[in-house]
Amino acid sequence: MEHTVLLVDDERNILNSLERALRRDGYRILTAENGADGLVQIKGNRVALVISDHRMPGMDGVEFLSKVKAASPETVRFMLTGCADLKDVMAAINRGEVARYITKPWNDDELKAAAKEAVERFNLVDENRRLEEVTRQQNAALKDLNANLEKKVEEKTKKIRDNFFSFVKIFSNMMELYDHNVGGRSRRVAAMAKRLSARMGLDGVDGELIETAALLHNIGLIGLPREMIDRDEELLTTDERALLVHFPKVSQDLLSTVDTLRQAGVIIRGCMERFDGKGWPDGLKGGEIHIGSQIIAISSFYDRYRHGPRKLTHKDIVVKIMEEKGRAFDPVVADEFFGFLAGWVEDERAFDSDADGPEVRRHHIANIRPGMVLAENLGTTKGRLLVTKGTVMTEALIERVLKYHQIEPVADCACLSKPAVRA
The CA distance from 218 to 248, in Å, is 8
Axis-axis angle for helices 314-324, 331-348 (nearest 10) = 170
Q: Is the distance from CB of 27 to CB of 70 less than 8 angstroms?
A: no
Per-residue pLDDT, 196: 92
Q: Is the distance from CB of 303 to CB of 276 less than 8 angstroms?
A: no
CATH of the domain at 41: 3.40.50.2300
- Count the domains in the chain: 3
> Are 366 and 260 in the same domain?
no
Instruction: Tell me the average pLDDT across 177-194.
Output: 76
> Are 241 and 378 in the same domain?
no
The answer to whether residue 170 sits within a structural domain is: no
Cβ atoms within 10 A of the Cβ of 96, count? 22
The CA distance from 245 to 219, in Å, is 14
> Are 302 and 383 in the same domain?
no
Cβ atoms within 10 A of the Cβ of 392, count? 15
Closest to 92 (Cα-Cα) out of 146, 46, 31, 50: 50
Per-residue pLDDT, 205: 85
Q: Kindly indicate the confidence band of residue 253, based on its pLDDT and cuts at 50, 70 and 90.
A: confident
The CA distance from 391 to 393, in Å, is 6
Per-residue pLDDT, 159: 67
> Are 402 and 337 in the same domain?
no
| Burial (CB count <10 Å: 0-12, 13-18, 19+), residue 236 | middle
Could you list the residue range(s) of the whole structural domain that residue 320 is in? 179-351
The CA distance from 260 to 336, in Å, is 28
The answer to whether residue 154 sits within a structural domain is: no
Look at residues 351, 366, 395 and tell me which one is the last residue of a structural domain: 351
Choose between 256 and 167: higher pLDDT: 256
Axis-axis angle for helices 291-307, 262-269 (nearest 10) = 60
Cβ atoms within 10 A of the Cβ of 269, count? 25
The answer to whether residue 135 sits within a structural domain is: no
Least confidently predicted of 29-43, 133-147, 324-338, 340-354: 340-354
> Are 246 and 102 in the same domain?
no
Which residues are CB-contacts of 9 (< 8 A; sequence separation ≥ 6)?
15, 18, 33, 52, 53, 56, 80
Axis-axis angle for helices 238-256, 262-269 (nearest 10) = 160
Choose between 260 and 137: higher pLDDT: 137
Strand-pair partners of 325:
329
Cβ atoms within 10 A of the Cβ of 291, count? 18
Strand-pair partners of 5:
29, 49
Look at residues 351, 379, 397 and tell me which one is the last residue of a structural domain: 351
Choose between 237 and 304: higher pLDDT: 304
> Which amino acid appears at position 25 of this protein?
D
> Are 220 and 341 in the same domain?
yes
Instruction: Give whole-number Cα distances, 27 to 7, 49, 235, in Å.
Output: 12, 10, 108
Cβ atoms within 10 A of the Cβ of 255, count? 25
Instruction: Tell me the average pLDDT across 65-78.
Output: 92
The CA distance from 214 to 144, in Å, is 41
> Are 378 and 418 in the same domain?
yes
Cα 266 to the center of its chain, rounded Å: 27
Instruction: Tell me the average pLDDT across 197-205.
Output: 89
Per-residue pLDDT, 332: 92
The answer to whether residue 148 sits within a structural domain is: no
The answer to whether residue 9 sits within a structural domain is: yes
Instruction: Tell me the average pLDDT across 139-143.
Output: 82
Q: Alpha-carbon dihedral of residues 131, 137, 143, 145, nearest 10 degrees?
A: -110
CATH of the domain at 313: 1.10.3210.10
Q: Is the distance from CB of 80 to CB of 102 less than 8 angstroms?
A: yes
The answer to whether residue 210 sits within a structural domain is: yes
> Are 27 and 91 in the same domain?
yes
The CA distance from 215 to 169, in Å, is 8
pLDDT of 394 over the 80 cut: yes
pLDDT tens digits, residue range 5-17? Answer: 999 999 999 999 9
pLDDT tens digits, residue range 284-309? Answer: 999 999 999 999 999 999 988 887 77
Q: Kindly indicate the confidence band of residue 183, based on its pLDDT and cuts at 50, 70 and 90.
A: low
Q: Which of 139-148, 171-180, 203-212, 293-302 tops mean pLDDT?
A: 293-302
pTM given for the model: 0.51
Look at residues 101, 129, 157 and tell me which one is the last residue of a structural domain: 129
The answer to whether residue 155 sits within a structural domain is: no
Instruction: Tell me the average pLDDT across 198-208.
Output: 89
Instruction: Tell me the average pLDDT across 240-251.
Output: 76
Instruction: Tell me the average pLDDT across 356-367.
Output: 66
Closest to 292 (Cα-Cα) out of 189, 223, 219, 222: 189
pLDDT tens digits, residue range 217-228? Answer: 887 776 666 666
The answer to whether residue 138 sits within a structural domain is: no
pLDDT of 352 over the 60 cut: no
> Are 199 and 339 in the same domain?
yes
CATH of the domain at 363: 3.90.105
Number of H helices, E strands in the chain: 14, 10
> Are 209 and 332 in the same domain?
yes
> Are 212 and 235 in the same domain?
yes
> Are 333 and 198 in the same domain?
yes
Instruction: Give whole-number Cα distances, 127 to 30, 54, 68, 114, 259, in Å.
Output: 23, 30, 20, 20, 54
